[in-house]
Amino acid sequence: MSTITIVNGFSPLNRWLLYTSFMLAPAQFFSGLGNNCPSNFGFLAYNWYTQISWLHAIQNHELHALSLLPVHFNLLFVFTYLGGVTSGNLAMGIFLGLGTGGVIIVNTVAAWISWATNQPEGFGVYQFFFFGWRTLSPGWHKFILVWQISDSLFALNCLYLAIYLPIKMSKYTKEEMDKIPWYLGKFPLIPVGAAGALLVGWPLILWTELIVARNNIESDTDWVAVWLFIAQAGAMLMPGSATYFGCMKRAFKKPKSDGNFIVGSLNRGLAR
């Protein structure tokens, strides 16, 4: 079978960054609790960019056999998007919640468009693994429809959570955060949460990679998505702050020692 080159953004690097973003969702959720720094803005920006990329590729019929994926990503990634709704204040939390709700809607719409317009082009061509290798057919297309309906109902529930969670979690105070065991902190949750997410999501990751390999799909790297992921990780790792944008103040604040040195020098000069 000849190699199928599809739209940029689905290279091995892009795919594994997508999986990594999914695995970082638990740590991402905790990083926003009681934190007034915009630690989840990078997560939201990365999710919006990837979803818009998926939607454009679907609308332009540029996914080939990867058009089988949105319905399944709709189930897994809709839930992980909720990892980015937490914040230390209500205004930022509502903004993140509305942004996350928008991503969930785009995700669901993209999945339906893919099912209705892209998958029929692959009848008798697109291959996928389901207890053995299968070829997409009208019968399998109807089977995927059942999955798509259930995923959409699940996404509807997540829309409610996208608004409820930031309102609920914005009430966490620094004192309450200090009572949380250390092993549930942001940094311990990076490996532990990633392992838990991988335990849940590895079948989808494996299924995706099997489809890519079986259908000989290639794609160039979308470097905008790569840099957005780096920004996401950097924002998540920023130290938290109980005051509004206190992390920014720390970043631009001069060390006290320098100030003391300058003041001391002025005093000595005046004494002379």
Digits of tens for pLDDT over the chain (272 positions)? 578 888 888 889 999 998 888 888 887 777 777 666 666 777 888 888 988 988 999 999 888 888 888 887 777 777 778 777 776 677 877 888 888 888 889 989 999 999 999 999 989 999 999 888 999 999 999 998 988 898 888 888 888 888 888 787 776 655 666 666 666 666 777 888 888 888 888 888 898 899 999 999 888 998 999 999 898 888 777 765 555 544 544 444 444 444 454 444 445 554 55
Q: Are residues 46 and 74 in the same domain?
A: yes
Q: Are residues 155 and 65 in the same domain?
A: yes
Q: Are residues 253 and 211 in the same domain?
A: no
Element (H, E) at 195: helix 186-214
55 lies in which domain range?
4-240
Q: Are residues 220 and 197 in the same domain?
A: yes
pLDDT given at position 183: 63
133-135 and 127-129 as β-strands: parallel, antiparallel, unpaired? antiparallel
Q: Are residues 148 and 248 in the same domain?
A: no
The pTM of the full predicted model, rounded to 2 decimals, is: 0.78
Q: Are residues 251 and 232 in the same domain?
A: no
Spell out a b/e string for 184-211, using b for 16 or more CB atoms within 10 Å of the CB, else e. eebeebbeebbeebeeebeebbebbeeb
| Residue at token pair 């992390």 | 247
Q: Are residues 258 and 168 in the same domain?
A: no
Q: Are residues 31 and 43 in the same domain?
A: yes
> Rounded CA gap, 61 and 113, in Å?
10
Q: Are residues 11 and 41 in the same domain?
A: yes
Q: Are residues 184 and 261 in the same domain?
A: no
Q: Are residues 210 and 257 in the same domain?
A: no
Say if residues 69 and 14 touch (Cβ distance below 8 Å).
no
Q: Are residues 38 and 169 in the same domain?
A: yes
Interior CA angle at 11 toward 24 and 62, to 5°?
A: 115
pLDDT given at position 231: 86
How many structural domains does the chain have?
A: 2
pLDDT given at position 186: 67
